[in-house]
Amino acid sequence: MLFLDVFGEYNFLVRDSLILLVLALSVYVLLHAGMFAVPQVGFMALGAYASAILTTRTEVGLAVSLLVAGAVGVAAGAVLSVLLARLNGIYLAISTIAFGEIVRVTMRNLEVAGGGLPLVGIPRTLDDVTLMVVVGLSLVGLVRLARSRYGQAIVAIREDPLSAAHQGVSVRAYRVVLFGLSGLLAALAGGMSVHLTGFVEPGLFNFDLLVDALAAVVLGGMTVVAGPVLGGLIIFGLPEFLHFFAQYRTLVNGFLIVVVIGLAPEGLALLPRALVRRVRSRRAATVHSADAPPAEKVEEGVARALATGGDTALEVRGVAKHFGGIKALDGVDLAVGAEEILGVIGPNGSGKTTLLNVISGVYRPDSGSVAIGGEDVGDRLGRPHRLARTGLARTFQTIRLVQDRSVQENVEIGAYLDRGAEGIVPSILGLPPYLRSRRRVRREVALLLGELGLADLARTEVALLPYGAQRKVEIARALMSHPRVLLLDEPTAGMSPAERDEVFALVREVRQRHVAVVVIEHDVRAMAQTCDRLAVLNFGRLLLVDSPERAINSEAVIDAYIGRSA
């Protein structure tokens, strides 16, 4: 079936552009996850040559050829990501560019690949149905992926990998999978292109091709599937229709890239939305206080929390951590009960944040142990995404939400671990288990937002909210995972007094959900009103843990803070 012939003299261009669209999508797969890697041309070459060699030496058909190409791509992607696991940023980008060159050069020297000469005689069996199916499946698959919990996890990784890890997302695993997916798409593009043109040579897979694909994604936008589509149209499709332009098209592409990344970095596909956002001024959204009637508790979550052994939600023993020569934590012992609010106070530099960082896995302690719900977490120390599975949640000193998404979407990511029923296949195909789980999560989110007085803001973009509301959203997100322990690091930093009071009220309410809370704050008066006990740190050591009145009035504490006697 060659129905694309309807485009007459442009029919090759259309088919070629569709194939390049798949390549652009493979670039998008990595960039939209914030992974600065561009190995796609190398994957495309591997897929192309796999198909070419296979079909010039055997009698396999198109489907098998593409299947093999795809498999080669997936394998190459997965292996490459493991090899380059320790690299990030610029170094990762450079390594992947070099990978592309290595593939090209290798193909140029392999006898079986033609030894530098074009390999011809490849069966031109690419029919338009297959082409459209691949393109269609890729687009639909990626769109559905974006809507699933995996897509939400990817957005979280892009925005803030550390925060994503604390929602239970294994960044390393996602990297391997995304590299594999990118490899799959690029290799398929390669396989299809050789079955379109009938020949292949190493020189096709050069830096220029990468630049074109990258340009398409950048211009259109690297965070939405529509981006590469729009960008592909501009880069691959448009110039041919504007003949006089054609000579300067590369020049104009380059210029557009600079302009877009400078002025509209989200890409042209999102330009309308970006303009609207800039025109709209920040809404001072009023945040209702939390005196909505307590709604039904979500039974499963509470039941799980109640099923913990014993009454101690969190136990820290002998934890020590030093950086260089400085002892940030010098043997700290702490126990927090299942419905207790423990405040941690102390002067600047006393180790409060380091303590939380050790508990939540940002750092591995040098010595000591941590137990959550009575179970020692052992080798999960230093791995936030694994600690998240034991029932630990936290917020950081800075707000770590996905700023350009709604409150609803941000809180949903908190249920990431809870949505195991949404496997990858049910999610992409929209099967009943996925739909049921989705509905359940949405209901839970709505309920929670209602309880916290955030219901009106569910669809509001987080970036438009005042600090106080954003912090509440963060706490809501943390609560979605039904944690046993919630760590709050200076939740009211930078807030007005009214906002502060609301957050402290929320902390008191959280306790009723059978969650142990550990909160660091500087407003000692508010802490005294809110916390059951206060732990005072200084120079990495615990000075005392006691009731708020006794703690505040103790000599040791006043000295530590005010340094009356130095």
| Contacting residues toward another protein, per CB under 8 A | 34, 36, 83-84, 86-87, 89-91, 93-95, 97-99, 101-102, 105-106, 108-109, 116, 207, 211, 214-215, 218, 248, 250-251, 253-259, 261-262, 265, 282, 284, 325-326, 347-349, 466-467, 490, 493-497, 522-525, 539, 552, 558, 561-566
Cα–chain center distance at 215: 23
How many whole angstroms separate alpha carbon 45 and alpha carbon 101?
10
Burial class (CB in 10 A: 0-12, 13-18, 19+), 517: buried
DSSP classification of residue 200 = B
Task: Choose between 496 and 512: whose C-beta lies nearer to another protein.
Answer: 496
Q: Specify whether the CB–CB gap between 30 and 174 falls below 8 A.
A: no
Task: Choose between 160 and 451: whose C-beta lies nearer to another protein.
Answer: 160
Q: Specify whether the CB–CB gap between 188 and 71 falls below 8 A.
A: no
**Least separation in angstroms between CB 83 and another protein:** 5
For the chain, report the end-to-end CA distance as a whole number of angstroms.
Answer: 87
**Least separation in angstroms between CB 524 and another protein:** 5
**Least separation in angstroms between CB 186 and another protein:** 19
How many whole angstroms separate alpha carbon 209 and alpha carbon 101?
12
**Least separation in angstroms between CB 409 and another protein:** 19
* Residue 164: C-alpha distances to residues 53, 385, 413, 416, 417 (Å): 42, 8, 9, 10, 11
**Least separation in angstroms between CB 151 and another protein:** 19
**Least separation in angstroms between CB 101 and another protein:** 5
HSE on the CB side for 552, CA within 13 Å? 14
Structure tokens at 12: 């090759």
Task: Choose between 131 and 469: whose C-beta lies nearer to another protein.
Answer: 469
**Least separation in angstroms between CB 536 and another protein:** 12
**Least separation in angstroms between CB 498 and another protein:** 11
**Least separation in angstroms between CB 527 and another protein:** 10
Task: Choose between 8 and 89: whose C-beta lies nearer to another protein.
Answer: 89
Per residue, what are the HEC states of 107-166? HHHCHHHCCCCCECCCCCCCCHHHHHHHHHHHHHHHHHHHHCHHHHHHHHHHHCHHHHHH
**Least separation in angstroms between CB 552 and another protein:** 6
**Least separation in angstroms between CB 193 and another protein:** 23
Task: Choose between 249 and 442: whose C-beta lies nearer to another protein.
Answer: 249
Residues 6+ away with beta carbon under 8 Å from 303: none
Q: Specify whether the CB–CB gap between 441 and 425 falls below 8 A.
A: no
Task: Choose between 239 and 426: whose C-beta lies nearer to another protein.
Answer: 239
How many whole angstroms separate alpha carbon 97 and alpha carbon 171?
22
Burial class (CB in 10 A: 0-12, 13-18, 19+), 157: buried
**Least separation in angstroms between CB 416 and another protein:** 23
How many whole angstroms separate alpha carbon 209 and alpha carbon 191?
16
CB atoms inside a 10 Å sphere around CB 349: 14
Which of these, 441, 403, 399, 400, lies nearest to 419 by C-alpha position? 441
Task: Choose between 250 and 406: whose C-beta lies nearer to another protein.
Answer: 250
Task: Choose between 307 and 566: whose C-beta lies nearer to another protein.
Answer: 566
**Least separation in angstroms between CB 72 and another protein:** 18
How many whole angstroms separate alpha carbon 270 and alpha carbon 277?
11
Which of these, 526, 543, 523, 527, lies nearest to 535 by C-alpha position? 543
Which of these, 251, 252, 277, lies nearest to 264 by C-alpha position? 277
Task: Choose between 64 and 87: whose C-beta lies nearer to another protein.
Answer: 87
**Least separation in angstroms between CB 155 and another protein:** 14
How many whole angstroms separate alpha carbon 237 and alpha carbon 10?
10
Q: Specify whether the CB–CB gap between 231 and 159 falls below 8 A.
A: no
Task: Choose between 77 and 483: whose C-beta lies nearer to another protein.
Answer: 77
Structure tokens at 10: 């442009």
Question: To 10 degrees, the CA torsion angle through 342, 347, 348, 352?
Answer: -30
Task: Choose between 89 and 309: whose C-beta lies nearer to another protein.
Answer: 89
How many whole angstroms separate alpha carbon 99 and alpha carbon 207?
11
Task: Choose between 188 and 465: whose C-beta lies nearer to another protein.
Answer: 465
Task: Choose between 57 and 282: whose C-beta lies nearer to another protein.
Answer: 282
**Least separation in angstroms between CB 103 and another protein:** 9
How many whole angstroms separate alpha carbon 229 and alpha carbon 147?
18
The number of helix segments (H) and strand segments (E) in the chain equals: 25, 10
Task: Choose between 324 and 432: whose C-beta lies nearer to another protein.
Answer: 324
Task: Choose between 109 and 286: whose C-beta lies nearer to another protein.
Answer: 109
